[in-house]
């Protein structure tokens, strides 16, 4: 009795699929998760010398894949199958895949898949969301652990970019932002804090946070961002700045 109960719990939590790997591993290894109807086997929508192990699939629902894949819903794409013998003509499957070829049509490389009629497929979207959230939480926990100071506050002033004596192609143009601190989530801080951020739009820095007056955010600060003033803390990556609504999540991960 216990063995049967344990098996059903295990199946629900890990959702074992065709490739024999837990769902968590498949999600971690995949950039695209979607359903598709298998229209043709050993065939392709792209020009290839050998179509063995390929399948033409009509794209259905997309769990992950961005606008690129969502724009192809209802169209035929090519899948390079991981286990061709396990896939049957006419069946609908949930595929976990990565990019392969992008041209007039899309071709993806399968990591694993599961039939849409299988029990684990019923909660697939919710399970994928739970796994992604767990991944994000682990990454955020590592980031919080490495940060000397985490605060929630509002940017009240932004200075002029600081240019180095010898300007390089990838100069970050460090800029100081004055932040009024509303809540200290980790460490200790005065009521007003100076934060550095790279205002450069160079390819090396264009994704970095660009702070603006009136911005209300959580700042996960990094040390040693500026050689000119090692005491100043800053933000350099998109994940260093969170929405205020994430305060509860951050407190929970910090054990507060």
b/e per residue 77-99 (b: at least 16 CB within 10 A):
bbbbbbeeeebeeeebbbbbbee
Q: Look at residue 170 in the predicted model and tell me its pLDDT.
A: 73
Q: Look at residue 69 in the predicted model and tell me its pLDDT.
A: 92
Q: Look at residue 20 in the predicted model and tell me its pLDDT.
A: 47
Q: Could you tell me if 222 and 208 are in contact, meaning their C-beta atoms sit under 8 angstroms apart?
A: no
pLDDT digits (tens, 9 = 90+) for 53-85: 999 999 999 999 988 899 999 999 999 999 999
pLDDT above 80: residue 92: yes
Domain coordinates of the chain in residue numbers?
2-136, 147-254
Beta bridge partners of 38: 57
What's the CA gap between 153 and 185, in Å, rounded?
Answer: 11
Question: Considering the chain, what percentage of its residues have pLDDT values greater than 70?
Answer: 89
Q: Look at residue 167 in the predicted model and tell me its pLDDT.
A: 60
pLDDT above 50: residue 147: yes
Same fold for the domain at 2-136 and the one at 147-254? yes
**Quick one: average pLDDT of 119-147?**
91
Of residues 160 and 109, the one with the higher pLDDT is: 109
What's the CA gap between 181 and 153, in Å, rounded?
Answer: 4
43-47, 137-141, 203-207: which range is least confident on average?
Answer: 203-207
**Quick one: average pLDDT of 232-241?**
94
Which pair of structure tokens corresponds to residue 49?
A: 């010398």
pLDDT above 80: residue 248: yes
Q: Look at residue 168 in the predicted model and tell me its pLDDT.
A: 63
Domain 2-136: CATH architecture, name and number where available = Beta Barrel (2.40)
Question: Considering the chain, what percentage of its residues have pLDDT values greater than 90?
Answer: 70
May I ask the CATH class of domain 147-254?
A: mainly beta
């Amino acid at each position: 009795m216990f063995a049967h109960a344990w098996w059903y719990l295990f199946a629900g939590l890990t959702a074992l699929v065709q490739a024999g790997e837990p769902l968590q591993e498949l999600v971690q290894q995949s950039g695209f998760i979607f359903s598709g109807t298998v229209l043709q086997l050993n065939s392709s929508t792209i020009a290839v010398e050998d179509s063995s192990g390929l399948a033409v699939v009509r794209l259905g629902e997309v769990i992950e894949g961005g606008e690129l894949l969502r724009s192809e819903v209802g169209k035929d794409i090519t899948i390079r199958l991981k286990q061709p013998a396990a896939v049957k003509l006419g069946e609908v499957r949930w595929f976990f895949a990565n990019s392969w070829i992008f041209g007039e049509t899309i071709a993806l490389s399968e990591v694993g898949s599961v039939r849409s009629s299988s029990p684990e497929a019923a909660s697939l979207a919710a399970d994928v969301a739970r796994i992604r959230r767990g991944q994000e939480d682990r990454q955020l926990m590592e980031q919080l652990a490495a940060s000397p100071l985490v605060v929630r506050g509002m940017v009240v002033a932004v200075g002029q970019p600081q240019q180095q004596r010898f300007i390089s192609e990838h100069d970050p143009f460090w800029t100081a932002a004055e932040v009024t601190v509303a809540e200290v989530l980790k460490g200790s801080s005065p009521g007003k804090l100076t934060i550095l951020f790279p205002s450069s739009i160079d390819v090396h820095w264009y994704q970095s946070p660009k702070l603006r007056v009136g911005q209300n955010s959580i700042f996960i600060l990094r040390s040693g961002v500026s050689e000119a003033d090692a005491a100043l803390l800053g933000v350099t990556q998109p994940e260093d700045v969170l929405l205020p609504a994430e305060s509860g999540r951050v407190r929970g991960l910090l054990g507060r």
